[in-house]
C-alpha cells in the first residue's frame, strides 16, 4: 500500500512538471533529501524515482520561459572544484572507484545548477525551503517524538542507503534543517502553522540529540549560539531555548551523558583516535601528491603506504573512513581542492552578508534577510558538525549554495527596479520598495 501511494504521489507531481518545470527540481530534491522510497517495503524501494525526475526535468528546465543564470561567484567556484575533481580522478590511487564516485558527485552538482536556474522569485525559493523542511523535518519530528517516548535510550537513525543513514550524519542534517523551520514560521500568517513549525523545530533539535552523536552536541551548541545571535527577540529566544535544553538534559539517560563525556577523554576512545589517524594520513597524502589520492582512496593500502607506524581497522577489517569534510577534500583532492572548497563557502557567506545588508530596514526584502541569516545558521551547523563527518558531497549544502545565489539575484533585481524608477523621475524617488528616500533639492 505504501509503495502504491508513493508512486501515485510521484506521478501526480511529475505531470505537474510538464506545466511548471520548477516542480521537477522540487521533486528531484525531495527524492534526494528524504529518500521516501526507503520507507517502502516492496517494488518502490529500488524504483528509480530520482533518475526519472531528472530525465523529465532537465530538458524542460533548459527550455523554460522563466529561468535565471545560476552562476554566482560561489557557483563558478564549485565548477572549478568540479573540474579539478576530474583531474584528481585521472591520477586517483583507485581509479575505478574514483570515477564511480565522480559520476555521483557530478549528478549532485549538475542538478544543483538546474535547481538554481528555476529559483526565479521568492515563491519558488520558499517552495524549495519547504521541500528541505518537509524532507528532513519528517525525520526530525518523527525522531523527536521517538526520543521523548523512549527517554533517549535508543538512537535516531536516517533512511537507509542515503547520505544521512548513520546517526552522526542524520544529526548534522537535522541541525541544518532546524533554522528553516524558524524561517518558514515567519512566512505564514496562520497562528496554528507558526506554532506547528516552531514545535517541529524543537522536535528536530530533540531528534538530533537523540542520535547520541557527539559531533551533534558540538554542532548543536555552535548552531544555537549563532542562531540566538542572528534572531530578534533575543530574550524570548534565550528563555525558550534554555527551557528546551533543560528539558532535553533532564530527559536523556545516563548512557547518553557517558557517551558525551568521552569528548573530554578522546585519547581513550578508538573512534576518536581513528579519526586523528585518518586526518594524519590525509595530510600526508596531500603533501606527497598535488592531486591528492582521488575519490574513495580510504583503503588498507593507502593507510599502509602513508601510515607505516600502524593504522586502525574497522569492524569489517577495512580501513576507517576519514570522517571530516575538510580532511576528506584534502586527502582526495589535495591542497588545491581544499583551497577551492574553503573559498566556495567563504563566497557563500559573503553573499548572505550582502543580502542581509541590502535587506536591512526594507520591508519588502525582510524575507530575504531572514532567509540569509538562517542559511548562515544552517551552514554553521554543517561547518562544525562536518568537521567530524565525511559529508563533503552531501547534497543539501550544495543546494543551499544555489538558494543563496537565487536570493541574491532576486534582491538585486528589486534594487535595479527601484533604481530604474529613480532615473525615470526628475525630483521624487519612488518609495514602494521601501529602500529609497525622497531626493532633496531640485532636478
The ranges assigned to domains in the chain are: 1-65, 71-118+269-413, 127-264
How confident is the prediction along the chain (443 residues), in pLDDT tens digits per residue? 788 999 999 999 999 999 999 999 999 999 999 999 888 888 888 889 999 999 999 999 999 988 898 999 999 999 999 999 999 999 999 999 999 999 999 999 999 999 999 999 999 999 999 999 999 999 999 999 999 998 888 888 888 878 888 888 999 999 999 999 999 999 998 999 999 999 999 999 999 988 888 777 788 788 888 777 777 777 677 777 777 777 776 777 776 666 666 655 544 455 666 778 888 889 999 999 999 999 988 887 888 888 766 655 555 555 677 889 999 999 999 999 999 999 999 999 999 999 999 998 888 999 999 999 999 999 999 999 998 888 899 999 999 999 999 999 999 988 888 777 644 333 333 333 333 333 333 33
Model pLDDT, residue 261? 62
- Say what the pTM is: 0.87
Give the CB-side neighbour count of residue 375, counting CA atoms within 13 A.
33
**d(C-alpha 319, C-alpha 329), whole Å:** 17
The set of long-range contacts for 147-154, using a CB threshold of 8 Å and a minimum separation of 24, is 147/206, 147/207, 147/209, 147/210, 147/251, 148/206, 148/251, 151/251, 151/252, 151/253, 152/209, 152/210, 152/212, 152/251, 152/252, 152/253, 152/256, 153/253, 153/255, 154/210
Model pLDDT, residue 429? 37
Model pLDDT, residue 431? 37
Model pLDDT, residue 160? 82
Amino acid at each position: 500500500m505504501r509503495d502504491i501511494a508513493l508512486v501515485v504521489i510521484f506521478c501526480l507531481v511529475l505531470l505537474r512538471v510538464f506545466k511548471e518545470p520548477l516542480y521537477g527540481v522540487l521533486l528531484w530534491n525531495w527524492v534526494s533529501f528524504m529518500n521516501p522510497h526507503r520507507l517502502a517495503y516492496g517494488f518502490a524501494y529500488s524504483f528509480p524515482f530520482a533518475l526519472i525526475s531528472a530525465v523529465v526535468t532537465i530538458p524542460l528546465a533548459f527550455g523554460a520561459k522563466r529561468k535565471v543564470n545560476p552562476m554566482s561567484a560561489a557557483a563558478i567556484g564549485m565548477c572549478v572544484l568540479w573540474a579539478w575533481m576530474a583531474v584528481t580522478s585521472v591520477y586517483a590511487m583507485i581509479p575505478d572507484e574514483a570515477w564511480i564516485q565522480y559520476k555521483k558527485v557530478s549528478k549532485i552538482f549538475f542538478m544543483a545548477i538546474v535547481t538554481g536556474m528555476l529559483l526565479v522569485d521568492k515563491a519558488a525559493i520558499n517552495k524549495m525551503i519547504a521541500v528541505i523542511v518537509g524532507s528532513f523535518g519528517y525525520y526530525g519530528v518523527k525522531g523527536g517524538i521517538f526520543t521523548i517516548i523512549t527517554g533517549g535510550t535508543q538512537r535516531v537513525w536516517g533512511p537507509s542507503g542515503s547520505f544521512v543513514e548513520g546517526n552522526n550524519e542524520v544529526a548534522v542534517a537535522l541541525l541544518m534543517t532546524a533554522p528553516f523551520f524558524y524561517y518558514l514560521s515567519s512566512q505564514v500568517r496562520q497562528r496554528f502553522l507558526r506554532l506547528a513549525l516552531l514545535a517541529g523545530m524543537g522536535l528536530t533539535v530533540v531528534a538530533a540529540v537523540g542520535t547520541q552523536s557527539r559531533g551533534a552536541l558540538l554542532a548543536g551548541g555552535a548552531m544555537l549560539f549563532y542562531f540566538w545571535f542572528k534572531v530578534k527577540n533575543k530574550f524570548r529566544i534565550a528563555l525558550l531555548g534554555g527551557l528546551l535544553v533543560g528539558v532535553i538534559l533532564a530527559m536523556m539517560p545516563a548512557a547518553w551523558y557517558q557517551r558525551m563525556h568521552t569528548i573530554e577523554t578522546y585519547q581513550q576512545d578508538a573512534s576518536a583516535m581513528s579519526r586523528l589517524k585518518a586526518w594524519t594520513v590525509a595530510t600526508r597524502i596531500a603533501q606527497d601528491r598535488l592531486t591528492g589520492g582521488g575519490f574513495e582512496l580510504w583503503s588498507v593500502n593507502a593507510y599502509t603506504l602513508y601510515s607505516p607506524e600502524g593504522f586502525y581497522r574497522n569492524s569489517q577489517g577495512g580501513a576507517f573512513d576519514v570522517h571530516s569534510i575538510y580532511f576528506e577534500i584534502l586527502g582526495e583532492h589535495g591542497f588545491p581542492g581544499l583551497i577551492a572548497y574553503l573559498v566556495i563557502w567563504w563566497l557563500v557567506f559573503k553573499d548572505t552578508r550582502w543580502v542581509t545588508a541590502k535587506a536591512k530596514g526594507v520591508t519588502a526584502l525582510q524575507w530575504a534577510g531572514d532567509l540569509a541569516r538562517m542559511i548562515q545558521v544552517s551552514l554553521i551547523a554543517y561547518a562544525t558538525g562536518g568537521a567530524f563527518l565525511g559529508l563533503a558531497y552531501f547534497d543539501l549544502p550544495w543546494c543551499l549554495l544555489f538558494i543563496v545565489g537565487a536570493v541574491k539575484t532576486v534582491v538585486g533585481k528589486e534594487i535595479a527596479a527601484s533604481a530604474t524608477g529613480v532615473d525615470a523621475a526628475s525630483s521624487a524617488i519612488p518609495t514602494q520598495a521601501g529602500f529609497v528616500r525622497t531626493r532633496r533639492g531640485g532636478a
